[in-house]
Amino acid sequence: MGNRKKAQSSFLFYTKLDLVEALGKKAKNLQELLGFLKEVPSSSIYFHTHRYLRQHHFLSPEPPNDFAYWARGILGDKLLAEKLFSLDILDFKNLEELRSALIEIIEGYLATNPESMKWSVLSGYEFHFAKSITFVLPLGIEVWTLEEFLEAMKKISIHSLYFHMFDSRLRLGRGENDFSLWLKGELEEYELAVKISNLDPYTNTMEGLRQKMCLLIVKKLHG
Amino acid sequence: MAKLGEYEPVVGKSVVEELFLLAGHLKGRVMQHVNSTAVGGGVAEILNRLIPLFRDLGVEARWDVIKGDEEFFVITKKFHNMLHGRMEKLTKEDIEYFEEVGDFNLKEINFSGDFIFIHDPQPVTLIKKKAEVGRKWVWRCHIDSASAESSLWNYLAGYIKDYDAAIFSTMAFSKDLPCRQVIISPSIDPVSDKNKYLDQEFINRVLERFQIDKDRPIITQISRFDYQKDPLGVIKVYRLVKKRVDCQLVLAGGGATDDPEGQKILEMVREESKDDPDIHVLLLPPASDKDINALQRASNVILQKSLREGFGLTVAEALWKEKPVVASAVGGIPLQVVHNYTGLLSHTVEGTAGFVKQLLQNPEHAKKLGTNGREHIRQNFLVTRHIRDYLLLMLSLEKEGDFIYL
């Protein structure tokens, strides 16, 4: 029997739009990259670990972060690229933890491969640091039940999905995605909330993620 | 005049709704654009398309063009080349005349916009007016300035620093500047004459008019006749391909009123190709968008063998038409052509020719690249995304912070 419970507080869907701003900092080698990694704002860490998902969300998953992409494609350092690539972003509750992990990987790599500190890329191939300015807008969609939630999930834009899955968890420091928080807190759907939390948005396309979430909800509603 | 409703079938209803939602927060504001030419070249083309769409959204948009004589444009062409990293002889007199023309335009233009967008270096000195009129000022750089000659860049930066923000097309073009630097890629318009669907009958008529054989492969580069677009390199590529595949080459483009070098390059291209009837050099008048569209659609492979490129909108146009593209890995091109996924990136004449042969002989692979290319453009490089970025920029000039709730 599916959940017919009505929430005390509704779920309001928001969407987000990003404007990209360059920070005027560019690294030509790993040492400079490390230096900037330590000082750029956290919105820059977010930007460089999520940009590919945004720009290529319709493709099969691309290299998940700019650091891995630069290490592999420009520095030609496959070992470091793989270490950066394999970072599981879902393990981190906030961006400062993620920043520390990136720093730790690069520092560890430089300690065991000191010669790689000397490699500098040609002019034009530097790593350019940037950040996003994010605008959040209400979509005007409000739901109270799991059935209404499913219908909304089918039609919201990918940007809305993106906001509730990524931005709220890491940038707004909620520690978990908005969907799971509401399902758990309002509809007492603990199992469904965990299943959605465990979906890996970093190795799915956004459309793939939407389909999997809808399937989980349909199963819950109709068995 | 284009209306945003026309874009819904292409980009989806939610994307158009988002634009109206954003524009609602800018009701009553006026954006004013200033550039150096009303016709020819990518900047005029983008403004021609953007301005009616902003008006449709309820944001008043105006467009002024600065006045300059041939001497002024010869100087600014040197600027253009130097920003692309080419050496030019720039004199103290050149700079004095550049500033003199700028001061003349300061008096000619009525700066009434809430947001004033100054495009490229030609009108950059107009920022002098900011102290008097206030407003938000944005400098929009359409040029690949990654290898800009440093003394010229430092001179221009003396003006750019006073703007509230500078816009660059890619991250690689951004600079060490004290003002904000926003990254906004240019875009193409899917419903314009240049990009809309054309039936085969119309395409065939265009080929007939230009005496191009529709039954043999066609390689095309659409570009202004400009040294940086390397039309002579394109002819070399064609000759290497022609050794193995009986093909034709179309080099087609218009002129721009702010580009005095174009005629010289065109003459060189004509001289180089005069003995080969399979090379079609077409100097097209400004109202040739449908012809360009037809030539792109009729092509088997599209080239963009630029030595330097701001963004290379012709690449986006070709990808939108699901054409296989071989393009140089310069400027904004790698953002559009993801190698082996949405097209092929090359670095040399020989490499370009090799890729063209590969595509001509493997139409299935070519088709796959074209299909991916169209989707990539739909998601990232259509005019609706461009409008959205401009709206966001204006909002960000009025509201502080990295996270803005509207």
Nearest to A19 among B175, B379, B396 (CB): B396
Mean of pLDDT values over B281-303: 95
- Residue B18 touches chain A, beta carbons under 8 Å: yes
Q: B196 burial class (0-12, 13-18, 19+ CB within 10 angstroms)?
A: middle
Q: Do B388 and A17 touch (CB under 8 A)?
A: yes
Compute, in degrees rounded to 10, the torsion defined by CA atoms A72, A74, A76, A80. Answer: -40
pLDDT of residue A158: 81
Answer yes or no: do B404 and A133 touch at CB < 8 A. Answer: yes
Amino acid letter for position B36: S
**Residue A135, token pair as written in the block:** 């605008």
**Which residue on chain A is closest to B170 by alpha carbon?**
A22
| pLDDT at residue A61, rounded to an integer | 46
Which of A15, A22, A131 lies at the smallest CB-CB distance from B18? A15
Strand partners, A12: A142
Long-range contacts of B198-202 (CB under 8 A, 24+ apart): B198/B290, B198/B293, B198/B294, B198/B297, B202/B290, B202/B294
Q: Which of B21, B168, B406 sits opposite A22 (nearest CB)?
A: B168
pLDDT tier for residue A64 given thresholds of 50, 70 and 90: low
Find chain B residues with C-beta within 8 A of A131's C-beta.
402
Q: Say how far apart CA B83 and CA B66 lie, in whole Å.
A: 20
B177 touches chain A (CB under 8 A): yes
Find which of B22, B149, B167, B174 to mutate to test the A interface (most A CBs within 10 Å of its CB).
Answer: B174
Fill in the amino acid letter for A36: F
Q: Please name each of the domains of chain B with its CATH number.
A: 4-187+382-398 (3.40.50.2000), 200-380 (3.40.50.2000)
Cα–Cα distance list, A138 to A21, A97, A160 (Å): 23, 29, 9
A78 vs B222: CA distance, rounded Å: 38
Statement: residue A2 has pLDDT above 80:
no
CB atoms within 10 A of CB A37: 21
Residue B257 is predicted with a pLDDT of 59
Mean pLDDT across A170-192: 92
State residue A53's pLDDT score: 60
Q: What is the pLDDT of residue A171?
A: 83
For all residues of chain A together, what is the average pLDDT? 88
How close is the nearest chain A Cα to the Cα of B172, in Å? 7
Task: Find the CB nearest A24 among B181, B404, B405.
Answer: B181
Residue A117 DSSP code:
G
- CB environment B366-388: b (16+ within 10 A), e (fewer): bebbbebbbebbbbbbbbbbbbb
CA distance A65 to chain B (A): 16
Residue B392: which pLDDT band, with cuts at 50, 70 and 90?
very high
Q: Is the pLDDT of residue A62 over 70?
A: no
Predicted confidence band of residue B335 (pLDDT cuts 50, 70, 90) = confident
Chain B residues lying within 8 Å of A159, measured CB to CB:
18
* Nearest residue to B393 via CA among B143, B46, B59, B37: B59
In sequence order, what are the beta bridge partners of A13? A141
pLDDT at B322: 98
**Residues of chain B contacting A22 with CB distance shorter than 8 Å:** 168, 171, 174, 181-183
Preferred mutation among A52, A60, A126, A133 to probe B, highest tally of B CBs within 10 A: A133
For the stretch B115-143, pLDDT in tens is: 999 999 999 999 999 999 999 999 999 98
The DSSP-derived string for B337-357 is --BTTTBEEESSHHHHHHHHH
Question: Between vectors from CA A168 to CA A167 and to CA A172, what angle results, nearest 5°?
Answer: 95
Helix (H, G, I), strand (E, B) or coil at B31: strand
B216-256 residue pLDDT tens: 999 999 998 988 899 999 999 999 999 999 999 999 998 66
The whole-number average pLDDT for the span A175-199 is 94
Q: What's the whole-number mean pLDDT along residues B357-380?
A: 94
Over range B69-86, report the average pLDDT.
93
Who's near A35: CB < 8 A, 6+ residues apart? A27
Q: Which amino acid is at B147?
A: S
Q: What residues in B contact A17, CB-CB < 8 Å? A: 18, 22, 388, 392
pLDDT digits (tens, 9 = 90+) for B4-21: 999 999 998 888 988 999
Whether residue B63 has pLDDT greater than 90? yes
State mean pLDDT over A137-141: 91
> Is A150 in contact with A11 (CB distance < 8 Å)?
no
**Per-residue confidence (pLDDT) for residue B46, from 0 to 100:** 85
* Cα–Cα distance measured from residue A76 to residue A85, given in angstroms and rounded to the nearest whole number: 14
In chain A, whose CA is at the least distance from the CA of B330? Answer: A124
The percent of residues in chain A predicted with pLDDT above 70, rounded, is 93
Q: What angle do CA B222, B168, B266 make, to 5 degrees?
A: 25
Phi-psi region of B102 (alpha: psi -120 to 50; beta: other; left: phi over 0): alpha
- Strand B325-328 relative to strand B301-304, pairing: parallel
Across the interface, whether the CB atoms of B402 and A135 are under 8 A apart is answered no
SS3 A99: helix
Q: What are phi and psi of B339, to 5 degrees?
A: -55, 130
Question: What's the rounded Cα separation, in Å, for the pair A206 and B258?
Answer: 44
Higher per-residue pLDDT: B1 or A161: A161
Q: Are residues A22 and B147, on separate chains, in Cβ contact within 8 Å? A: no
Q: Using the predicted structure, report yes or no on whether residue A127 has a pLDDT greater than 90.
A: yes
d(CA B179, CA B384): 26
Alpha-helical runs (H) found in A76-175: 78-85, 95-112, 146-155, 158-162
* Structural Rg of chain A based on CA atoms: 19
Q: What is the pLDDT of residue B125?
A: 98
Q: How far apart are CA B324 and CA B35, in angstroms?
A: 33
Contact call for residues B30 and B115 (beta carbons, < 8 A): yes
Which residue does chain B place closest to A47, by CA atoms? Answer: B402
Q: Does B90 touch chain A (CB under 8 A)?
A: no
Asked if B279 and B235 touch (Cβ cutoff 8 Å), the reply is yes
| Partner residue opposite A19 with nearest CB, options B175, B372, B392 | B392
Nearest chain B residue (CA) to A155: B14
State the nearest Cα–Cα gap between A37 and chain B, in angstroms.
17
Name the band, by pLDDT with cuts 50, 70 and 90, for residue B1: low
Kindly give, in sequence order, each residue whose CB lies less than 8 Å from that of residue B397, ignoring residues fewer than 6 positions away: B115, B136, B138, B164, B165
Select from A58, A210, A82, A156 the least CA-distant residue to B18.
A156
Contact residues for B92 (Cβ-Cβ < 8 A; gap 6+)? none
**Phi, psi (deg, nearest 5) at residue B79:** -55, -50
CA distance A169 to B181: 27
Q: What is the ipTM of this complex?
A: 0.84
> Band of the pLDDT at B146, cuts 50, 70, 90?
confident
Nearest to B276 by CA among B229, B242, B230: B242
Residue of A nearest to B178 (CA): A24
For residue A22, give the nearest of B165, B16, B289 by alpha carbon: B165
- Torsion, CA B71, CA B75, CA B80, CA B82, rounded to 10: 150
- Residue B395 contacts A, CB cutoff 8 Å: yes
Dihedral in degrees, nearest 10, Cα atoms B384, B342, B339, B328: -70
pLDDT score for B157 = 97
Q: State whether A130 and B402 contact (CB < 8 Å).
A: no
Kindly report the average pLDDT of chain B as a whole number.
93
Identity of the residue numbered A10? S
Q: What is the mean pLDDT of residues A195-207?
A: 84
B79 pLDDT above the threshold of 50 = yes
